[in-house]
């Protein structure tokens, strides 16, 4: 409870760390799916199977294009290989590269464990029209997961607004949730008169469901009202989570920015319980006041 309280219930002064051995083998493979729907179905099937990969992630078409567009400079050999791969995908596999979705699936453990896990996942991927793209994209994943969080600051320095919103829901709800949020974001961009960009990936899979992580960006039509325009887009996405059966947040927590939707997410009674707990532990509101409720 203290760990999830954003500092409202106290300060952690000591911790005991549980240490695990470094896995004998760790490999992140890239997979490509013809479209988001089949990528999502494959992730669902993996969660339902006996496979237990350490990473299961799939990006929608917008984020896939973003990944490939922001690759570091390649030499002639790498460019030639990319051209051959694109030809194969378009003319042999009949992929529409504008709808194609990139997935990262990782395996950790002994040689035997990794081999068995990958065999199970490869079969599921094939059943859903996907193909394995090797470990090259996996190296991209390890690099991008540290690079991407800094893009917001890069864009802000150039007059663009960018942020993330994440949610989670049951597997059966994820497709409708994704479709609805993308539609609402598009409507919000139109309302404020900007050409925005929104992309999404699925991450943090569980047996019951998964997390959807949306990233959006736009250049404000008027710098004097950029915060208002941001609120319109952010609000449309967050309200979409609530209306379409998702959670208010997943791992970024509630904080100050999402507190307005907490009552809709956990009910007014739930908010009362949390407020009573916080008031009981910290009646003077000295610990990170204002967060959550």
For the annotated catalytic residues, the residue numbers are 213
Q: Do 59 and 67 form a contact (C-beta atoms < 8 A)?
A: yes
Q: Do 222 and 194 form a contact (C-beta atoms < 8 A)?
A: no
Residue with token string 């927590």? 253
- Per DSSP, the three-state class of 160 is coil
Q: Report the C-alpha gap between 37 and 96 in whole angstroms.
A: 14
Measured between its terminal Cα atoms, the distance across the chain in Å is: 15
Task: Tell me the two tokens of residue 274.
Answer: 């949390």
Find the angle CA(100)-CA(203)-CA(15) to the nearest 5 degrees: 155
Q: At what angle do helices 171-192 and 36-48 cross, to 10 degrees?
A: 150
Residue with token string 């890069």? 154
Total Cβ atoms within 10 A of residue 107? 23
CA torsion 285-286-290-292 (nearest 10°) is -90
């Amino acid at each position: 409870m203290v760990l999830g309280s954003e500092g409202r219930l106290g300060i952690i002064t000591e911790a005991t760390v549980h240490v695990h051995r470094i896995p004998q083998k760790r490999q992140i493979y890239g997979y490509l799916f013809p479209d988001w729907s089949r990528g999502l179905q494959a992730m669902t099937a993996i969660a339902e199977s006996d496979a237990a990969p350490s990473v299961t992630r799939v990006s929608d078409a917008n984020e896939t294009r973003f990944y490939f567009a922001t690759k570091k400079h390649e030499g002639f050999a790498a460019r030639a290989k990319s051209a051959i791969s694109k030809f194969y995908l378009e003319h042999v596999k009949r992929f529409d590269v504008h709808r194609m979705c990139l997935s990262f699936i990782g395996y950790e453990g002994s040689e035997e464990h990794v081999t068995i896990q990958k065999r199970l996942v490869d079969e599921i991927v094939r059943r859903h029209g996907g193909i394995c793209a090797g470990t090259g994209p996996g190296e991209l994943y390890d690099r991008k997961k540290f690079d991407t969080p800094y893009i917001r600051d890069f864009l802000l320095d150039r007059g663009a607004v960018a942020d993330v919103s994440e949610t989670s829901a049951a597997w059966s709800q994820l497709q409708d949730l994704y479709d609805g949020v993308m539609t609402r974001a598009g409507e919000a961009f139109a309302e404020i008169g900007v050409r925005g960009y929104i992309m999404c990936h699925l991450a943090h899979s569980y047996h019951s469901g998964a997390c959807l992580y949306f990233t959006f960006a736009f250049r404000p039509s008027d710098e004097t009202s950029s915060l208002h325009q941001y609120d319109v887009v952010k609000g449309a996405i967050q309200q979409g989570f609530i209306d379409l059966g998702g959670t208010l947040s997943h791992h970024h927590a509630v904080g100050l920015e999402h507190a307005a939707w907490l009552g809709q997410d956990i009910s007014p009674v739930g908010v009362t319980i949390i407020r009573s707990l916080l008031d009981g532990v910290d009646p003077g509101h000295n610990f990170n006041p204002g967060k959550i409720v």
